[in-house]
Structure 1
């Protein structure tokens, strides 16, 4: 039987219907990847924010990640049960502009407590110029936009000090949502900040003395990391890992890699490596993984810290660091 609707169903209506179906039928919750058994319901938009929520929330929280393991977060479309999860969240943790569907759900469903990560660590503009500068845009490159809805580079979690700032903010919001455990949240947030500050020191020390300072990556996600540690990212494409570079861009990159002795072209785990592998093959460079940590396929085998340390090892090898 075909049923036609005269008007689109609202997010609020979808959430309500989904909640009723779950209650009536005892259906399995597929709102996302959920961990923990605490009573405080936390919804995180994608992996790094989910990791922070878990670490800071501890046993008091149950965290749902709207972006399932191994999925690319940039083009997430929410299912009704996911909208319902946003509506029912005690705390919502997201980054405005990265995932428009999440932005819309938060705006319409108005969860009780919200952490918007870029309010804690403001976004910056980063260029992906062919001239090798990965800091603020100097006008080079081929015009790739790798901002969050034009508002700046969203990949703040790749600078551990910025993620530490977000962790402290999550701790304060959890303390407000669940005052009985406020001291526990703040203590765990402080502990995570200490760990992230230690990781920052590992990167500063590990990248302090290198033969080269430029690296090529298929996805221009590492602007904050490059800026923090004094190295230069050269992005094949912008923020969208599925976008395709123009032939002129490829030609410019081939020349740059050869002229500057770049040894490694990095690709990531959640997108096709074909362009990076072709660029490496054409220039005699090596293709290797540099993970932007937008999602982890198997969280039983890796977490934020292990992947970041693997990234540090990969960069040290590519840059010839002492």
Structure 2
């Protein structure tokens, strides 16, 4: 149902473009600025792109801070924004379920599209997630991932690959700045490599390897650092866990003396807190960095800063 609404919105916007003539420039922004006009889908793509682009582009996120990206739907205004851009950066792997429809609706054949996860081996979700997706049928939301896990940015090693893809795309859009983009990407990747090394050293000798999360966001991180993610629910934050899976997680937690259940920012922590209460454990944040909260912004946190908080949270829990 949501898909049909979006199609209608896209068609209405196309009519508006024809009537107003606002699409006649084909996305050429050179008259207003020599900088690239870069639109990105959500926060991690903003952080990565801004670090690569430096002062050579105006980078803006389509999804506002504090909005869960799985819930976001583009409006006609967003279509107009994308149409006027030089570059569109998105994560891919099914996170932005609207991407194909939006890019086919805009009238800008010069738009450079960068799928940051291109070339990365995408993981499938849990059996529970795939089963839920199969049973949803036409009632499924557009933003469901089709059983694929899009959360690649939560592995610093894969974040490096995303940054390289963004560097390549920006160089395609502005080849005269290829050297600058590479220099900026190299400098940022040094920081990501240090982050990766800190995760490796910090998590290599913990007392336990398993952790329980409310939302199955941390599969890539777990795989990279030889951990085991036990998810209460599936890939989509709004997916309700089945009674059977809730019981399975409670049983696992009791048998393995789990003392902390992780929840995340931007979505309700009710499920995690319910299980924590059931087993006499505490709850704590493990942040999937799908957007910055007001508290994150107040503390001047960025991707690397939040990932370091995640590392400390994992070290504490895995050494209990």
Asked if Structure 1 and Structure 2 have the same fold, meaning a TM-score greater than 0.5 normalized by the shorter chain, the answer is: yes
Pairing 1:202–2:198 present: yes
| Aligned residue number for residue 114 of structure 1 | 113
| Aligned residue number for residue 80 of structure 1 | 76
Pairing 1:239–2:235 present: yes
Alpha-carbon separation, structure 1, partners of 2:18 and 2:279: 55
Write out aligned runs for 1:1-322 (5 A): 8=8, 10=11, 13=14, 16=17, 39-96=35-92, 97-109=94-106, 112-127=111-126, 143-145=131-133, 149-150=145-146, 152-298=148-294, 299=297, 301-320=300-319
| Aligned residue number for residue 3 of structure 2 | none
Q: Would the alpha carbon gap of residues 246 and 191 (structure 1) be closer, same or farther in structure 2, given more than 3 Å must change?
A: same
Bigger shift: residues 144-153 or 272-281: 144-153
Q: Would the alpha carbon gap of residues 184 and 14 (structure 1) be closer, same or farther in structure 2, given more than 3 Å must change?
A: farther
Q: Deviations over 1:232-255 (max 9, x none)?
A: 001111111112112222111111
Alpha-carbon separation, structure 2, partners of 1:142 and 1:40: 39
Contact kept, 8 Å, 2:130 with 2:146, in 1: the verdict is no
Contact kept, 8 Å, 1:54 with 1:63, in 2: the verdict is yes
Q: Would the alpha carbon gap of residues 15 and 313 (structure 1) be closer, same or farther in structure 2, given more than 3 Å must change?
A: farther
Task: Quote the offset at 1:16 in angstroms.
Answer: 2.8
Q: Would the alpha carbon gap of residues 181 and 18 (structure 1) be closer, same or farther in structure 2, given more than 3 Å must change?
A: farther
Q: Would the alpha carbon gap of residues 87 and 248 (structure 1) be closer, same or farther in structure 2, given more than 3 Å must change?
A: same
Alpha-carbon separation, structure 2, partners of 1:17 and 1:48: 34
Alpha-carbon separation, structure 2, partners of 1:14 and 1:44: 25
Contact kept, 8 Å, 2:118 with 2:165, in 1: the verdict is no
Alpha-carbon separation, structure 2, partners of 1:21 and 1:107: 17
Task: Quote the offset at 1:101 in angstroms.
Answer: 2.1
Q: Would the alpha carbon gap of residues 101 and 11 (structure 1) be closer, same or farther in structure 2, given more than 3 Å must change?
A: farther
Q: Would the alpha carbon gap of residues 315 and 17 (structure 1) be closer, same or farther in structure 2, given more than 3 Å must change?
A: farther
Q: Deviations over 1:101-125 (max 9, x none)?
A: 2331123325521111232323122
Alpha-carbon separation, structure 2, partners of 1:272 and 1:176: 41
Residue 92 of structure 1 aligns to a residue whose secondary structure is: strand
The alignment yields a C-alpha RMSD, in angstroms, of 2.7
Residue 42 of structure 1 aligns to a residue whose secondary structure is: strand
Q: Would the alpha carbon gap of residues 168 and 14 (structure 1) be closer, same or farther in structure 2, given more than 3 Å must change?
A: farther
Q: Would the alpha carbon gap of residues 191 and 17 (structure 1) be closer, same or farther in structure 2, given more than 3 Å must change?
A: farther
TM-score (norm 2): 0.83
Residue 41 of structure 1 aligns to a residue whose secondary structure is: strand
Contact kept, 8 Å, 2:37 with 2:86, in 1: the verdict is yes
Alpha-carbon separation, structure 2, partners of 1:177 and 1:68: 25
TM-score (norm 1): 0.83
Contact kept, 8 Å, 2:211 with 2:317, in 1: the verdict is yes
Residue 234 of structure 1 aligns to a residue whose secondary structure is: strand
Structure with the higher fraction of residues in helix conformation: 2
